[in-house]
Structure 1
Amino acid sequence: MSDVTHSTAPQNDAPDFVVIDVETACSRVSSICQIGIVGFKNGREIFEYETLLDPRDIFEVFNTRIHGIAEHHVVGQPTFADVHAIVHGHLSGRTTVAHSYFDKGALAAACRVHDRAMIETTWLDSVRVAKRAWPDLESHRLGLLARYLGITHKHHDALSDARAAGWVIVKASEHTGLSLNDWLAPPRVAGPAPAAAADGPLKGDRVVILGEPRDGKLAHIAAGLGARNDRGRQFDDAAGGSRPRAIRPRDPVERRLFEGAGSPRRGLTNPDHRQRRAESDRRQPPPLILPYRLTPSPSGSHCPLPPWC
């Protein structure tokens, strides 16, 4: 927490997008007690704005325990009405990122309570971006994403949260090659999984491809080799089905296995494959949460197992 800090981007250096985060004093989302805004251009930060606010509302213990801001911290600080023009200047007419739409709702509620004009901006949810960029992660909460991506972050500090959410967008674009306009466009709805070829080295096998659409490149390769894509289905060994194999497209061993020449079945059953797979896992940065698939337990219920089990 700090007093007002405000640096403005040069007039001819408008940001590609801005990021906003707010903290609230109580369960009413209009009770903004801290606001942080960061501007990004060409993958770097170009300005930041942060201030404590007097919410003109009560402070509840639950909220103070989360962000550490109490009533005595905001004595003499401006109200939302006082800084509305500054916030409007940073956000209006631009793309505004927030990690979930809580901040969007809080901003709208504060405008209503303080009798200020609504801020017209194009909103982008960094949670949705993160889910598209890293679908195999079990959680896309900001603190966990920051740790996974190596982003310096102090959780529930408005400026730090805004900065971290902005870097999630930058790193997601670097990771996927998608532009800001791509993130703003509605995501493509995956088509049906390709039908398995009548014959091939994977005939009779069922596979689950993690992290790519069910109609993506690897799905077509696997189908051409005779495998059936069972993503999104439940599996029951008791019904006579075989355990599905999880394919991780970002594992270099498995991608080479399916995109290279030769017999995938021989590769998958080669005793050296497990050793190469283990070496590949050790070379990669330790993931925060590993991708999981569902396999039947002895009791018949479905429980998560690592994909290499």
Structure 2
Amino acid sequence: MTTHTDLPDFVVIDVETACARVSSICQVGIVGFRDGRELFAWETLLDPCDEFHAMNTHIHGIAAHHVAGQPTFAHVHAEIDRHLAGRVTVAHSHFDKGALAAACRVHARTMIETTWLDSVRVAKRAWPDLANHKLGGLARYLGIPHRHHDALSDARAAGWVIVKAIDHTGLSLADWMAPPRKPGAAPRAAADGPLKGERVVIIGEPRDGPLAHGIAARGGVVRTAVGSTTTMLVLADVGPLVRSDPQLRKAQAARLGGQPIRIVTAHRLAEMLAA
């Protein structure tokens, strides 16, 4: 067990369970991260006060004899609360959040008040081209050392997924925590202008953003998705999220199929309009 004196930017939790009841936590691992590095790690086996199912033991290797004499969830609740309460807590999917809540109910302990961030959601946005976003596959793809279904190793790997997603996309932790904004309607195209007749899709900026308004003011019709009538795709920036956007791949495929669609950056579009 290691301790920490600095406050983490976020903590990560992972649990293993003894049976199909999600409250049956038999191992918990917590890792804190600050400034892109691991700050502390804490883990323990737990007596789940429940039965062990063979399938669960086959997955994580923990059986009843491994937890004999270990603390129960009720005994470590205060320690878990100390690490998580009032902080951003990462978990890979919603399973750990649900298991923690269920264990609090079963053991008559107060719910832990924390702000959750799902690293699956982050990974899907940061690396949309991956076939799946399970933790084991992500760890291999990103070069993260990982021993699957060990709570501490799983927590550590999920934390590094967040660190690498921040580095890969340039989005901060606060950006990842912000709920996605639902864009409003696209602006109405002006009756005339240098972009009259263009059907434009923008990626990297909402359809009601400044770029869309500039295009509409010059006669261009702003659309949400690339289709058979699209004539132009505008990249608001050239960051990783834009380069991996499905609409870009769709536009590239349309061009290969003979559709006359131009793919330009916002900067290049501005140059074209100024010429």
Note whether the superposition's TM-score is higher than 0.5.
yes
Change (3 A) 1:214 1:120: same
Query: What are the residue-to-residue correspondences of 1:204-283 with 2, within 5 Å?
Result: 213=206, 229=223, 231=225, 241=228, 249-250=242-243, 259-260=267-268
Counterpart of 2:239 in structure 1 is none
Query: What are the residue-to-residue correspondences of 1:30-41 with 2, within 5 Å?
Result: 30-41=23-34
Counterpart of 2:14 in structure 1 is 21
Counterpart of 2:166 in structure 1 is 173
User: Which of 72, 76, 98 is the aligned partner of 1:105?
Assistant: 98
User: Which of 85, 92, 114 is the aligned partner of 1:92?
Assistant: 85
3-state SS, counterpart of residue 77 of structure 1: coil
Task: Name the amino acid aligned to 1:260.
Answer: R
Counterpart of 1:7 in structure 2 is 2
* Contact 1:20-1:162 at 8 Å conserved across structures: yes
Gap regions ≥5 residues in structure 2 = 236-241, 253-261
Change (3 A) 1:257 1:218: same
Q: In the aligned structure 2, how far is the partner of 1:61 from the partner of 1:244?
A: 58
* Contact 2:23-2:103 at 8 Å conserved across structures: yes
Task: Name the amino acid aligned to 2:141.
Answer: Y
Task: Name the amino acid aligned to 2:109.
Answer: R
Q: CA deviation at 1:173?
A: 1.9
Deviations 1:4-25 (A, max 9, x none): xx11102xx1211111010111
Q: In the aligned structure 1, how far is the partner of 2:61 from the partner of 2:166?
A: 33
* Contact 1:33-1:52 at 8 Å conserved across structures: yes
For the aligned residue pairs, the C-alpha RMSD in angstroms reads 3.6
Q: In the aligned structure 2, how far is the partner of 1:144 from the partner of 1:122?
A: 26
Task: Name the amino acid aligned to 2:14.
Answer: D
3-state SS, counterpart of residue 23 of structure 1: strand
Query: What are the residue-to-residue correspondences of 1:64-103 with 2, within 5 Å?
Result: 64-103=57-96
Change (3 A) 1:159 1:225: farther
The question of 1:146 aligning with 2:120 is answered no
Q: In the aligned structure 1, how far is the partner of 2:139 from the partner of 2:14?
A: 15
Task: Name the amino acid aligned to 1:190.
Answer: P
User: Which of 116, 140, 158 is the aligned partner of 2:109?
Assistant: 116
Deviations 1:33-66 (A, max 9, x none): 1100001111110110111111111112222232
3-state SS, counterpart of residue 7 of structure 1: coil
Q: In the aligned structure 2, how far is the partner of 1:246 from the partner of 1:60?
A: 54
